[in-house]
């Protein structure tokens, strides 16, 4: 397969504003006029290039951002949504009906887990949770009712790697769709090129990169994205997950620096993970050759963007983990906060934050300890000094 560079795919897509602006104009309208009633009737039947009806359907800036995202993920089309959970909801509700089943990784974002475990059963949609890295277990979980196999490229928070090419083969042999959340690995991996049918992002994280909005996207075939926007049966259309146009314009600007940011995030994460390991701290990072999924991730990666900016360490002690995070914030390492992809370093304990929706017994089963700290390393240019601050905190707490 020819090598793919998502940064070039974005760079080669030029969109001009209304008056030749280098940034596309923000359409500050919820509704649009027509010169004929026939044209208005036609757009209710199908999308018309350059023609807009109502911002819940489409508006120009959301369309520009969607087209950019499609190029970035090398899919035919894309749809932006008001949040990452909005993207997941729309994709799943479009693909599944009452009585259908989903096979999902058991190490996923807590909000996704809660949706699958607690909410979808209300619609008679069953989810079977599996170790997504065990392909035989995945195969055994698939039934004739399975419509979706769901995973994260790099899982939250234990950083497991999904074998997208082989999961795609399992999905295709079962007439199911492989849905991949690529939030942790934008630029790093392009799932659609590896066989994913639907690719999802929480754009709140890396793609936007400034922690000032909530947004999501769905990248897939033109047929699937059109089905999402069907006025009678489209999940995106009927669930009303439209992204605000001003926020879409902001994300569209930020996405053009994503390749540079991912390189810096990944470089800082690799440095920190290596230093943690030297201290004898149990460290999770897929950039390590000793990581269980390292070779797999390397085989799927695009060149030049590293292994992403997320590192997890396990102190095996909840109290010490909590005290360390508080001290790191006092020492200006970063913020004790959930989320990721910000230009500042963020850290939190997933067991009682972003993965708290997962029951304790299931957390124990998947190896998610209460002493686990997840770092999203920022764009710090003095990363060695930041490490020394963390090391100083660890020494005070007698962790090292």
pLDDT of 276 reads 98
| Pair 283, 195 in one domain | no
pLDDT of 47 reads 74
pLDDT of 4 reads 95
Total domains in the fold of the chain = 2
pLDDT tens-digit profile, the chain (400 residues): 778 999 999 988 877 777 788 888 888 899 888 888 888 888 877 777 778 888 888 899 999 999 999 999 999 999 999 999 999 999 999 999 999 999 999 999 999 999 999 999 999 999 999 999 999 999 999 999 999 999 999 999 899 999 999 999 999 999 999 999 999 999 999 999 999 999 999 999 999 999 999 999 999 999 999 999 998 999 999 999 999 999 999 999 999 999 999 999 999 999 999 999 999 999 999 999 999 999 999 999 999 999 999 999 999 999 999 999 999 999 999 999 999 999 999 999 987 666 666 777 777 777 777 899 999 999 999 999 999 999 999 999 999 9
pLDDT tens per residue across span 262-298: 999 999 999 999 999 999 999 999 999 999 999 999 9
Say if 1 falls within a structural domain.
Answer: no
| Pair 35, 164 in one domain | yes
Burial state string for 37-49 with b = 16 or more CB within 10 A and e = fewer than 16: eeeeeebeeebee
pLDDT of 354 reads 61
Q: What is the dihedral of CA 122, 218, 137, 113, to 10 degrees?
A: -40
Token duo for residue 188:
């790093």
| Pair 152, 164 in one domain | yes
pLDDT tens per residue across span 193-230: 999 999 999 999 999 999 999 999 999 999 999 999 99
pLDDT of 272 reads 98
- The domain of 374 spans 259-396
pLDDT of 54 reads 87
Q: Which of these three, 256, 276, 308, is where a domain ends?
A: 256
pLDDT of 55 reads 87
| Pair 32, 126 in one domain | yes
Where residue 182 sits, what CATH number does that domain have?
3.40.640.10
Q: Which of these three, 222, 237, 256, is where a domain ends?
A: 256
| Pair 65, 182 in one domain | yes
Say if 300 falls within a structural domain.
Answer: yes
Where residue 363 sits, what CATH number does that domain have?
3.90.1150.10
3-state secondary structure the chain: CCCCCHHHHHHCCCCCCCCCCCCCCCCCCCECCCCCHHHHHHHHHCCCCCCCCECCCCCHHHHHHHHHHHHHCCCCEEEEECCHHHHHHHHHHHHCCCCCEEEEECCCCHHHHHHHHHHHHHHCCEEEEECCCCHHHHHHHCCCCEEEEEEECECCCCCCECCHHHHHHHHHHCCCEEEEECCCCCCCECHHHHCCCEEEEECCCCCCCCCCCCCEEEEECHHHHHHHCCCCCCHHHHHCCCCCHHHHHHHHHHHHHHHHHHHHHHHHHHHHHHHHHHCCCEEECCCCCCCCCHHHHHHHECCCCCCCCEEEEECCCHHHHHHHHHHHHHCCCCEECCCCCCCCCEEECHHHCCCCCCCHHHHHHHCCCCCEEEEECCCCCCHHHHHHHHHHHHHHCCCC
| Pair 204, 276 in one domain | no
Identify the H or E element spanning 81: strand 77-81
| Pair 111, 51 in one domain | yes
Q: Which of these three, 256, 277, 297, is where a domain ends?
A: 256
| Pair 326, 244 in one domain | no
């Amino acid at each position: 397969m020819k090598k793919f560079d998502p940064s070039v795919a974005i760079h080669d897509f030029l969109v001009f504003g209304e008056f030749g602006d280098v940034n596309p104009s923000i359409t500050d309208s919820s509704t649009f006029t027509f010169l004929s009633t026939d044209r208005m009737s036609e757009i209710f039947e199908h999308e018309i290039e350059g023609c807009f009806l109502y911002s819940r359907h489409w508006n120009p800036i959301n369309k520009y951002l969607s087209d950019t995202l499609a190029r970035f993920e090398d899919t035919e089309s894309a749809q932006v949504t008001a949040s990452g959970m909005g993207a997941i909801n729309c994709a799943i509700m479009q693909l599944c009906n009452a009585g259908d089943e989903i096979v999902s990784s058991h190490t996923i974002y807590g909000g996704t887990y809660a949706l699958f475990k607690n909410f979808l059963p209300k619609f008679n949609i069953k989810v079977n949770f599996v170790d997504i890295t065990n392909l035989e277990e995945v195969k055994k979980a698939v039934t004739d009712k399975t419509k979706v196999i769901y995973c994260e490229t790099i899982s939250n928070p234990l950083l497991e790697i999904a074998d997208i090419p082989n999961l795609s083969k399992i999905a295709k042999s079962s007439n199911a769709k492989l849905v991949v959340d690529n939030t942790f690995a934008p630029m790093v991996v392009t799932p659609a090129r590896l066989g994913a049918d639907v690719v999802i992002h929480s754009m709140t994280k890396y793609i936007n990169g400034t922690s000032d909005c909530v947004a999501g996207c769905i990248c897939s075939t033109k047929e699937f994205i059109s089905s999402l926007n069907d006025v009678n049966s489209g999940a995106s259309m009927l669930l009303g997950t439209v992204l605000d146009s001003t926020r879409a314009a902001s994300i569209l600007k930020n996405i053009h620096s994503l390749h540079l940011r991912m390189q810096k995030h990944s470089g800082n994460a690799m440095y920190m993970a290596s230093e943690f390991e030297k201290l004898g701290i149990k460290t999770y990072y897929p950039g390590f050759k000793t990581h269980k999924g390292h070779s797999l991730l390397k085989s799927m990666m695009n060149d030049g963007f590293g292994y992403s900016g997320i590192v997890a360490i396990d102190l095996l002690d909840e109290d010490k983990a909590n005290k360390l995070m508080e001290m790191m914030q006092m020492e200006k390492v970063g913020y004790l906060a959930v989320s990721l992809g910000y230009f500042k370093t963020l850290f939190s304990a997933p067991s009682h934050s972003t993965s708290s929706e997962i029951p304790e017994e299931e957390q124990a089963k998947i190896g998610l300890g209460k002493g686990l700290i997840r770092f999203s390393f920022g764009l710090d240019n003095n990363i060695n000094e930041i490490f020394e601050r963390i090391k100083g905190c660890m020494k005070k707490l007698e962790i090292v």
